[in-house]
Copies of this chain bind each other. A is one copy, B any other.
């Protein structure tokens, strides 16, 4: 019937989704035409996003934004034309996180191969829990995990891809508790002594969050002091462990951070591992952000000792540039007692899903080692991107980002009005203050009090201008400062120069 007609721009205004596949199997041409129109919009967006002269965002306050776009769920269907218009509007009013001057988050930039991978993932729309319905993706996960386990430096490891680093950390802590107190899975914490865990005060808040969810209690997650540059002080860790034991508490888990969120600091893993050995504690390394350096022979020394960890969190959606979400929790399996630990921890015997009498080797089903039931396919976008770069390409990409960080650090050091918060920065986080001329000759206490308000003011103006975005935050020891992140592959030296000039220019206005 309709199979030889195409939708023209006129009749898009009269056509509805219910007239496309799969509802009308004969209308392949119309379906194709609509999807091609969507792709046109997306391609145009990518092209625009990569042009430096375009804005990173067109800022509007929430109340104003609500008037700019109709977000309501209508009673009657929208036409295909209206849906295309929705797509255009949503992109126009959003933040261009792939813009070369978007430095706001640890996950910046848009790797187009990873994006293409995610398009395919959407189209194949399957679930990772069984080989039955995800045969290739299940094997792909195994292959990529094997590579990542090698890079961590383990002989043997298991892993699960999880929705973000916080959930990966939860997986690790739960596996650790199960390894130490296997009865807890069935009986709960009631009969256990008060468990406690340790992490640096600069570590990610999800460690404390996992302790809260798991019934350990956020206050039983002890924040260990860090030095000036944000590294955990290992002596303080050991002292606290001893104190906790004296109080009758039961320490079982230590988290060392490889690349902290704010300063990009590296906890001293070898010293922490020694302490864990002495006290028989589970060592987890949260390398959500720093893990990517394992791909660089030149910089992997920063994660020295990671092979001694019992578990590792590593988010390819951060330094490796995969699209959000892509995170994994790794469990070392060199000791026999830890074989199959993820399975033992999370398996709940759902025999309607994970039958043992299937026609293939059910060891390939991963569902029983996951905390989730349905699990999104996060592997294809990573695999395709990794294939596009190879090991050599990743090495180059990551070393280049480290070089750009060194360049930016040097520019901050040499430019009047700028001051590094931690010097030298150890990673791709460069934290700095911009001190407007009026504050430069002030006495320090007064200057710092005023400085607290400078970064938020500059950030507000920056968002209004829409030319670039960089985050700021306070630290209990320090007034608000900017945290520059160099993880966007699109960045060039000129973009870094631009940021420095832009902040000066805004600073002169306030």
Contact = CB atoms under 8 A, between A and B. Distances in A.
A501 B105 CA distance: 55
A433 interface: no
A446 to B, nearest CB: 19
Interface string A459-478: 11001000001011110000
A35 B43 contact: yes
Interface string A127-145: 1000111111101100110
Contacts of A480: 357
Given A22-B50, A22-B109, A127-B324, 5 more contacts: A59-B135, A164-B374, A188-B194, A205-B373, A358-B460
Given A82-B387, A388-B17, A456-B359, A50 B62 contact: no
Nearest to A144: B73
Interface string A269-311: 0000000000000000000000000000000000000000000
A414 interface: no
B136 A120 contact: no
A126 interface: yes
B375 A164 contact: yes
A429 to B, nearest CB: 11
Interface residues of A, number: 168
Interface stretch (A5-13, A92-100, A232-240, A404-412): A92-100
A496 to B, nearest CB: 15
Contacts of A62: 131, 135, 139, 360-361, 364
A206 interface: yes
A441 interface: no
Given A17-B112, A194-B188, A324 B164 contact: no
A36 to B, nearest CB: 7
B125 A98 contact: yes
A433 to B, nearest CB: 15
Contacts of A23: 489
Contact of A213 (B34, B133, B174): B174
Contacts of A144: 73
28 contacts: A22-B98, A22-B109, A22-B112, A25-B50, A36-B39, A62-B361, A73-B386, A74-B391, A83-B384, A87-B116, A94-B137, A97-B133, A105-B127, A126-B324, A132-B463, A163-B372, A166-B371, A166-B374, A188-B194, A189-B189, A189-B190, A189-B217, A204-B373, A206-B348, A215-B215, A325-B376, A352-B474, A355-B474
A31 interface: yes
Contact of A371 (B122, B134, B213, B377): B213
A112 B164 contact: no
Contacts of A137: 90, 94
A178 to B, nearest CB: 9
A392 interface: yes
Interface stretch (A179-187, A251-259, A330-338, A418-426): A179-187
A60 interface: yes
A-B complex: 9 closest residue pairs judged by Cβ atoms:
A215-B215, A188-B217, A359-B460, A22-B490, A163-B163, A352-B473, A118-B122, A17-B388, A189-B215
A140 B216 contact: no
A66 interface: yes
A456 B190 contact: no
A354 to B, nearest CB: 10
